[in-house]
Structure 1
């Protein structure tokens, strides 16, 4: 692998379009290179202010400073939709607990009472759990950030389509109506979850299209680009978004775009790390067909990552439900036992 792949590319979204409104060829070239070669890049110039970022981090820290009993009022074991608060060590990645606690939220929509039996992924739609009594400001701050990230995600997805020599709006239909984005407020704590060891989050790829991560200055995120011999750290840059591509784009491009494996190392004991990831994702019923790549790009496809234990699916709803069931087995057993595979004993 060449030396360029040993660092994470930098892109400036404010340079994405020329004065005539079309995407800049220089930006598209940089984006295509980063998305194919690494699957990760850092993004500046996306329109947020220092004050907005500070407010979001302050709110995140405030939430995790609330008494545990207040956080447990939002316990995700109460939510059949995998929303709410997950305690330290109760999310599972690669079969091990993660050294983090988090608050999961998504679009504010009512639960669906009836849906086809062959579409169980509709169960992930439902109301969020917010600390409206203990911290009434959090809902507004978090949802405002999600709205901003939805705009950034849509612009990047249009640029990605152009980088594949497709029309800007090629992927738009999958997001029309009720896009099922997800977001988290995350607090990493080292040295508390014994079973986690150094695992903040285990190695994994993301389910959807584009992940937009705001991280603090502690660090710990590492990526394993295609063909890389070792893990590469993603160094914190104040206010920048860390962007990575999800499994839907790898499936759609037969591996030309990479849903790159990444992990987080837990911080040292006594050090707190805070992040806010946003997962820009389509409707739950969206099925992503393969795109027709131009010959020059088609020659560089790598195929879809082959993991029999965690196959990538073209149905977004099926892909995300598979991930939730694996990551939150307690919620799955309580609310969806019919979807949990019971190990055979014979």
Structure 2
């Protein structure tokens, strides 16, 4: 896909993110590690440069475009369904973006990490021909590199939280099925420039590794009521923490509300593609604050206004399934389903 796009406008509200250098993180640079910790404990979002995945990202954008271009009937053979499965194709209008039941405008294909790592054996489900054709050459290298990046960053948080070495890594063990996913997303231009393409949400899992070429991503900064764009920077990924890391850390780490709207300015008149890798805990992992493993986390939970929110009593699979299922349009039977699709955004105030 061509990387030539209209420039991001300079007259819209943007939120500056810390730029973290992945090479410095890998080298154990203490100053850079402190900056990552600051990002993770404030907004939970940061830019990541020197991550080394640009070539694979370019290939994945092509996979997304080729998949979207398939006939609708062909794509629907691989639809996710309405019971909370995360993997497969999602058609435009299959999800809702608000409590009123407004349908979304995005298409995406979710490729299970379990399937990529087991290829050519089918671990979770089948995929369109455009995915299969690029699995070995593009998708598997992207998954492997993304896994390495996210695992390195998670290890930093492991140490900063005072956990025994490898605690968080064990919760994301490779030998067990998980909801970890590669997602290729397509959003067409929206005639109503104020409409939402992807609803306000926190991410379901642990760490998201996002690649954008156009604007559209917005964050709601804590303590404000104004949505602000996150400007895409060439060669920089955007990383953000998800619900699982909030719960594991007893609220020390943050999973912030974000959404996707039409890109601003001239960018809003062209097709928007994006790519994200989601690292999520192993399916059987029970989501709970790791108070027994870390005095720092134990203290945070003790002083939280509602400690019970850090022990939801469900597995990572149950958490993911609930959230995915209750965003499906067909499952909207009133306000209850919409509220049941929520994550830690409903519980993080006052921590």
TM-score by length of 1: 0.76
How far apart are the structure 2 equivalents of 1:300 and 1:35? 21
Query: SS of 1:203's equivalent?
Result: strand
The 5 Å alignment of 1:141-290 reads 141-176=138-173, 177-180=175-178, 181-191=180-190, 198-216=195-213, 218-267=214-263, 270-290=269-289
How far apart are the structure 1 equivalents of 2:223 and 2:135? 41
Q: Which residue of 1 aligns with 2:125?
A: 128
**Is 2:111 the counterpart of 1:105?**
yes
Kindly indicate whether the alpha-carbon contact (under 8 Å) linking 1:37 and 1:225 is maintained by their aligned counterparts in 2. no
Query: SS of 1:57's equivalent?
Result: helix
Kindly indicate whether the alpha-carbon contact (under 8 Å) linking 2:53 and 2:146 is maintained by their aligned counterparts in 1. no
Greater CA drift, 176-185 or 292-301: 292-301
**Is 2:19 the counterpart of 1:16?**
no
Greater CA drift, 172-181 or 77-86: 77-86
Q: Which residue of 2 aligns with 1:344?
A: none
How far apart are the structure 2 equivalents of 1:130 and 1:187? 17
How far apart are the structure 2 equivalents of 1:327 and 1:40? 23
Query: SS of 1:191's equivalent?
Result: coil
Kindly indicate whether the alpha-carbon contact (under 8 Å) linking 1:35 and 1:258 is maintained by their aligned counterparts in 2. yes
Kindly indicate whether the alpha-carbon contact (under 8 Å) linking 1:99 and 1:266 is maintained by their aligned counterparts in 2. no
How far is 1:301 from its partner?
Answer: 7.4
Query: SS of 2:113's equivalent?
Result: coil
How far apart are the structure 1 equivalents of 2:272 and 2:135? 21
Flag the 1:157–1:202 CA change in 2: closer, same or farther, 3 A: same
Flag the 1:63–1:295 CA change in 2: closer, same or farther, 3 A: closer
RMSD between aligned residues: 3.4
Q: Which residue of 2 aligns with 1:59?
A: 63
Query: Quick one: which of 92, 97, 100 aligns to 2:96?
Result: 92
How far apart are the structure 2 equivalents of 1:24 and 1:299? 29
Query: SS of 1:327's equivalent?
Result: coil
How far is 1:166 from its partner?
Answer: 2.9
* Number of residue pairs aligned between Structure 1 and Structure 2: 304
Query: SS of 2:81's equivalent?
Result: helix
Greater CA drift, 155-164 or 294-303: 294-303
How far apart are the structure 1 equivalents of 2:96 and 2:312? 18
**Is 2:9 the counterpart of 1:7?**
no
Query: SS of 1:294's equivalent?
Result: helix
Flag the 1:13–1:269 CA change in 2: closer, same or farther, 3 A: closer
Greater CA drift, 168-177 or 24-33: 168-177
Give the gaps of 5 or more residues in structure 2. Answer: 1-13, 116-121, 338-351
How far is 1:285 from its partner?
Answer: 0.7
How far is 1:234 from its partner?
Answer: 1.1
1:183-224 deviation digits (Å, cap 9, x = unpaired): 2110011337x8x961111100011111111112x2110112
Query: SS of 2:39's equivalent?
Result: helix
Query: SS of 2:326's equivalent?
Result: helix
Query: Quick one: which of 29, 33, 47 aligns to 2:52?
Result: 47
Kindly indicate whether the alpha-carbon contact (under 8 Å) linking 1:255 and 1:301 is maintained by their aligned counterparts in 2. no
How far apart are the structure 1 equivalents of 2:286 and 2:93? 33
1:299-346 deviation digits (Å, cap 9, x = unpaired): 997667999xxx96653122101111112354x79xxxxxx98xxxxx
Q: Which residue of 2 aligns with 1:33?
A: 38
Query: SS of 2:110's equivalent?
Result: strand
Kindly indicate whether the alpha-carbon contact (under 8 Å) linking 2:83 and 2:325 is maintained by their aligned counterparts in 1. no
How far is 1:225 from its partner?
Answer: 3.0
Query: SS of 1:63's equivalent?
Result: helix
Flag the 1:158–1:82 CA change in 2: closer, same or farther, 3 A: closer
How far is 1:10 from its partner?
Answer: 0.8
Flag the 1:88–1:290 CA change in 2: closer, same or farther, 3 A: same
